[in-house]
Amino acid sequence: MVNVLLSSEPLSIQACADWVMSPEAGGIDIFIGTVRNHTKGRAVVRLEFEAYDRMAISEMNKIAAEIMVRWPLHKVLIHHRTGILQVGEIPVIIAISAPHRDAAFTACRYAIDTLKQTVPIWKKEIFEDGEQWVTPTP
Amino acid sequence: MVNVLLSSEPLSIQACADWVMSPEAGGIDIFIGTVRNHTKGRAVVRLEFEAYDRMAISEMNKIAAEIMVRWPLHKVLIHHRTGILQVGEIPVIIAISAPHRDAAFTACRYAIDTLKQTVPIWKKEIFEDGEQWVTPTP
Amino acid sequence: MEVKVLVFGRARELAGSGSIAVHATDGATLADVIALVKTQHPAMAQLSAFSTAINGQYAAIDTLLSAGDEVAIIPPVSGG
Amino acid sequence: MEVKVLVFGRARELAGSGSIAVHATDGATLADVIALVKTQHPAMAQLSAFSTAINGQYAAIDTLLSAGDEVAIIPPVSGG
C-alpha cells in the first residue's frame, strides 16, 4: 500500500506512523526532514518550498512503486510540504513498514535520496539579509 | 544529548520524535519495532518481555554514548518496553537527529543492530498452542 | 501551434513569470521551444543547468511536441 | 562468601527461580559459581550458550568474584 501527499498543511509524524503500522510488520523506519536554523554559518529565517504539483506527486508515486518492487515492504508513505516553513518545521516524512528492518532501512534511505534527485520541488532559503535557491550538493 | 528509557508503559512515537527534534538538525531517523502477528507461519498471541533492568539501561546508554562519538549526531533516544505486549504494540523506538541524514540513518541502524546483540532483554512468544523464548537468528 | 511552458524556482524568477505561452512551428522539438523562451526572456540565459518535462514526465530535449503540450523547465531540484 | 546469581529468560525457567543464593569459597571465579548453580539446578545443563555479568557488566568466565557480587546468567538476548 502506498500513501503519497503534497500538502501546504503541516505534516503529522504520528499520523504517518499510524498509517504504516501493521500487524504484519516487524519494523518501521521513518525519515523526517526538518528545517535547520543555519546553512554554512548563515542564520536561516525560513524556507519557501515551490513544487510542480502534478509532476511532484507523480514522481513520488514512482519512487513508492519502485521501492515496493525492489524490497519486501508492507506500506510506503511519502509526504512533502509546500509553502513557507519556519525553522523546526517538517518539509518531508517518509515512513516504511516491512516484515524485517533491513528492508525498511534500505528502502527509506533510497526513497529520500531519490526524492532529492528527481521530485520537482524547490526550496529557497531566506536569511536576515538575503535569500537563495538551494542547489543540490553533489 | 541522550535519552534512554526502559518502561512497562506504552511508548509514544510522537513524544520520541518531539524529543529529538532540534533547530540544529536537518534529518531525523526513527526506527520502531512492532509486534508481528506471526512467526514462521505460527500465529502470535502476545509477547512477554523480560529485562535485567539495571544492566539493560546501562547497555542502552553504552550504545547511545558510542554512536554519539562515532557519528556527528544531535540527540539520541533509545526507549524499550518490558512486560506483556499485544500484536501491533511497540517494543522499541530508536530516534536520532543529526545535522545530515547520512549520519542519522547509519547510527540508527547500528543502534538497533547492537541493541539486539548486547542489551539483556528477552522475549517469549505466546502462541495459541504453546510458547517459546525467541533466540537470535544469526 | 501553441505550447504552454511552466517555469519554476530560479528559472521562474529569471523569467518573471511561472507560465509562458509560446507560439512554435508545427514539428517543433522541446529544444526549439526552449530556444524561443530564451529569446522572449533573455535573463534565462543565466540558467546553467536544467531538465525538461512534457505533460508532467521528464523528456529528452529532442522530443517532438504536439499542440497543447505542457512543457516544464526544471532547474536542479532541492526538495526534502 | 555469599554470591547472588540472577537468572533470566529460559535460564530462569530452567532454574525455577530468578535469583539463586550461592555459597562459594573465597577466591572463587565466575566459572566456579556457575558450576555450583548447575549442581543446585541440574535442569540448567540444558542451557547450551549463555553470557555472564558481574554487577551489571559483561564479565569473562575466569573473573574472580568478591563477597556481595551480583552475578547474572544471560541467555542469548532477544530485545527489540
* Tens-place pLDDT, residues B32-56: 999 999 888 899 999 999 999 999 9
Helix, strand or coil for residue D16? coil
pLDDT of residue B40: 84
**What's the ipTM?**
0.94
Give the distance, in angstroms, between the CA of residue A30 and the centroid of all CA atoms in the same chain: 10
What's the whole-number average pLDDT of chain A? 96
C70 - beta bridge partners?
C4
Dist CA B63 CA B72 (whole Å): 14
- Whether D and C touch, i.e. at least 3 CB pairs below 8 A, reads as no
Q: Do B33 and A101 touch (CB under 8 A)?
A: yes
Q: What pLDDT band is residue A121 in, cutting at 50, 70 and 90?
A: very high
Chain C, 46-65: which have a CB under 8 Å from a chain A CB?
53, 56-58
Provide the pLDDT for residue B137.
64
What's the pLDDT tens digit per position in A61-76?
999 999 999 999 999 9
Identify the DSSP state of D44.
Answer: G
Averaged pLDDT, C14-36: 96
A49 CB-side CA count, 13 A? 27
CB environment C46-79: b (16+ within 10 A), e (fewer) = ebeebbbbbebeebeeeeebeeebbbbbbbbbbb
Return d(Cα D66, Cα D24) in angstroms, integer.
Answer: 10
Q: Which three cell numbers stand for residue B62?
A: 553504552
Residue A52 in this model has a pLDDT that exceeds 80: yes
User: What's the pLDDT tens digit per position in B62-118?
Assistant: 999 999 999 999 999 999 999 999 999 999 999 999 999 999 999 999 999 999 999
pLDDT higher than threshold 70 for residue A137: no
List the subunits that have 3+ CB pairs under 8 angstroms with B.
A, D
Q: Is the dihedral angle over the CA atoms B57, B60, B66, B71 positive or is it negative?
A: negative
Whether B78 and B64 have beta carbons less than 8 Å apart is answered as yes
Supply the pTM of this predicted model: 0.95
Indicate whether A1 pLDDT > 90: yes
The kind and range of the H/E element at C5 are strand C2-7
| Residue A125 φ then ψ, to 5° | -90, 130
Confidence of residue A40 (pLDDT cuts 50, 70, 90): confident
pLDDT of residue B100: 92
Q: pLDDT tens-digit profile of D23-79?
A: 999 999 999 999 999 999 999 999 989 999 999 999 999 999 999 999 999 999 999
Query: Residue C77: is its pLDDT beyond 60?
Result: yes
Q: Nearest CA to D33 among D68, D57, D75, D61? A: D61
Arithmetic mean of pLDDT, A133-138: 78
Stretch C23-48: mean pLDDT: 94
pLDDT of residue A136 exceeding 80, the answer is no
Whether B30 sits inside 8 A of A30 (CB atoms) is yes
Evaluate whether chains C and A are touching (3 or more beta carbon pairs less than 8 Å apart).
yes
Q: How far apart are CA A131 and CA A118, in angstroms?
A: 23
Residue B41 confidence (pLDDT) = 85
Would you call D72 and B52 a contact, using CB atoms and an 8 Å cutoff? Answer: yes
Strand A27-33 to strand A42-51: parallel, antiparallel, or no bridges (unpaired)? unpaired
E strands present in chain B: 2-7, 27-33, 38-39, 42-51, 75-81, 83-86, 92-98, 121-127, 130-133
CB nearest to B24's CB, from A24, A25, A37: A37
Q: Which residues of A touch C17 (CB under 8 A)?
A: none
Nearest neighbour of B120 by CB, restricted to D10, D77, D80: D77
Q: Nearest C-alpha of chain B: how many angstroms from A64?
A: 18
- B7 phi and psi angles, rounded to 5 deg: -145, 145
